[in-house]
Amino acid sequence: MMLRNLLLSGLAIALAPAASLMAQDQASAPAAEETTGNEIVVEGYTERQVRNFLWRAVIETGNVMAKRADAVCVGIDNAPVDLTQPLRQRIEGNLKSLDIEVGEPGCKANALIVFDRDAHRFVNWLAEQNAGVAYASLYLPERKRLIKPVRPVYNWHVTDLGPRQRLLGQGQSLTQQGAEGGRGFQATGFGPGGRILAAFKPAETSLTFSVVDYDAIDGLTIEQLGDYLTMQMLVELRPDMHGSVPPDSILNLFTEKGSDPDAAPEMSALDRTILSEIYGSRQNFGAGAVRASIARKSVERLEETGALREEP
């Protein structure tokens, strides 16, 4: 089911007038795989590629992974009903397949998906109007790196740090200026055993945003868009991760320039392994432990299917 036709059918009543994005040339990138129709034929990748992806793409908070503690309540705004319903069904089906609780009808949305004719303008307007809530977990340089470039889609998380601060002791706040390599707590005020106890509890994702430029979804399917948005609302990923993403991941659906209808038709085995390891039953949410577990399970699966290549 093509999304562009669905959007255009409800455009007059669903989308407010806005300036469209300037046309941009599509830069041709070296092909990492063969494509047949909408099928990705992957020759396989190495363990190093898997580990590079996990360490470069997945964001950690205070040296642990963040995950949702509450039921996921999907809110889709500024899209016609005939797009909203199938997209919601795909996302909620993904959540249920991962044993992640879905909010009841009428719940307060905590996974917000907004379609706009100018996504770049919208996220910058949001920063001017409501940065304290919408971008509460992004320190200033991080926010600028997210919203300054013109992108076809913007994804970010709001993280509740209260439970971690109680474990670590008082005076723990996010580094607000100049931090690099992910977020981290300032090294003051740790209570007895705080560092050890903190690894047993994840940071809590309380709210996520995805802002999608409707011009970028031409040719995409409900399955592709739904799987991409599922990944983004469950795991916080760097916006500039594309160089390290394996070729069969649904995260290749959007690039810096636009969308790729020839990307994978759905989440890959690695994509699902990432979600199942973070949201499965585990006792250690330390970032290194989670990444190592994902890498180990993914490499085992690649070996089973014959898709694991030797390092060059």
Model confidence at 109, pLDDT cuts 50, 70, 90, reads: very high
The pLDDT assigned to 137 comes to: 85
SS3 category, 78: coil
Q: How far apart are CA 220 and CA 265, in angstroms?
A: 9
Model confidence at 287, pLDDT cuts 50, 70, 90, reads: confident
* 293 found inside a domain: yes
User: How many C-beta atoms surround the C-beta of residue 188 within 10 A?
Assistant: 11
* 107 found inside a domain: yes
Indicate if the pLDDT at residue 263 is higher than 80: yes
* 258 found inside a domain: yes
Pairing of strands 153-160, 203-213: antiparallel
pLDDT above 70 as % of the chain: 71
From the number of C-beta atoms within 10 Å of its C-beta (0-12, 13-18, 19+), residue 96 rates as exposed
* 37 found inside a domain: no
The 10s digit of each residue's pLDDT in 153-204 is 999 999 876 544 444 444 334 433 333 334 443 333 344 444 444 455 778 8
Q: How far apart are CA 274 and CA 245, in angstroms?
A: 13
* 3 found inside a domain: no
User: How many structural domains is the chain composed of?
Assistant: 1
Q: What is the mean pLDDT of the chain?
A: 76
pTM here is 0.76
The pLDDT assigned to 171 comes to: 39
**Rounded average pLDDT over 92-110:** 96
Model confidence at 43, pLDDT cuts 50, 70, 90, reads: low
Give the best-scoring range by mean pLDDT among 18-32, 181-195, 221-235.
221-235
More confident residue, 310 or 154: 154
- Looking at 9-18, 39-48, 200-209, 270-279, which range is the least confident one? 9-18
The pLDDT assigned to 304 comes to: 83
Give the best-scoring range by mean pLDDT among 139-148, 192-201, 216-225.
216-225
* 19 found inside a domain: no
Distances (CA, A) of 136 to 79, 133, 139: 26, 5, 8
* 33 found inside a domain: no
* 20 found inside a domain: no
- Containing domain of residue 85, as a range? 42-305
Q: How far apart are CA 234 and CA 99, in angstroms?
A: 13
